[in-house]
Amino acid sequence: MFDLDLLLRFAVVAEELSFTKAATRLHVDQPWLSRQIQRLESQLGFPLFIRSTRSVTLTTEGHVLLGQVAELARVADKTRATIREMIRSYNELIVLGVNPTTYWLPERYKVIEKFQARFGPSSVKLVSNYKPRLISKLRKHLLDVAVIPEPFDFHDLETLVIHRSEASLLVPPDDPPALADALQDGTRGHTYTAH
């Protein structure tokens, strides 16, 4: 019997025709993914891909298998989404990831209040962590939403900006003059705002 997860990983590599892009899409390391496909090929007894330093192409057997596994992958994705929705509905719990640097944001508390008003007072579970871990948990569907500070540029995640702030460097008017002069035209007692 073949491992369903291996077949689903094969489908992603076959769709991307790139181990690097497939690894990014699956949120795994590329060498690990390559070993997984080699394991599947070993179980099957024939290669699924022709690999070169510049490209990855499907073998004839790979094309045939992809035709079957693509449907399996669609069903698996739909099933995962249904299960996530059932769990969320059953538990009526929203797992909200928060970055420690967002504790001072009034908008963060407004988000929590809106969720609690809609889903009930005990509907929100806070998970505190730093930005990279929160993003990883979002991608793995371990969080429903997360409040993280800018900057961010995540094309695979939907973004709703709830607060914008500018960083300012404050310099006292009498000390140290060299710092203020280096950043502005010499006007003292003002702030320098980074844009």
pLDDT value at residue 187: 47
Read off the pTM. Answer: 0.47
> Would you say domain 4-88 falls under CATH 3.40.50.2000?
no
Residue ranges of the domains in the chain?
A: 4-88, 92-147, 165-195
pLDDT value at residue 178: 56
Vertex 29 angle, CA 80 and 61, to 5°? 70
* Token pair recorded at residue 160: 């709703």
DSSP designation for 92: T
pLDDT value at residue 19: 93
Q: Which residues of the chain have pLDDT under 50?
A: 186-195
pLDDT value at residue 193: 46
Q: How far apart are the first and last CA of the chain?
A: 58
CA–CA separation, 29 and 140 (whole Å): 14
Contact call for residues 44 and 68 (beta carbons, < 8 A): no
Please name the residue that has the structure tokens 């249904």: 82
* Token pair recorded at residue 9: 């990983």
Q: Architecture of 92-147 per CATH? A: 3-Layer(aba) Sandwich (3.40)
pLDDT value at residue 185: 52
| φ, ψ (nearest 5 deg) of residue 186 | 100, -5
Q: Is 152 helix (H, G, I), strand (E, B) or coil?
A: coil
pLDDT value at residue 39: 93
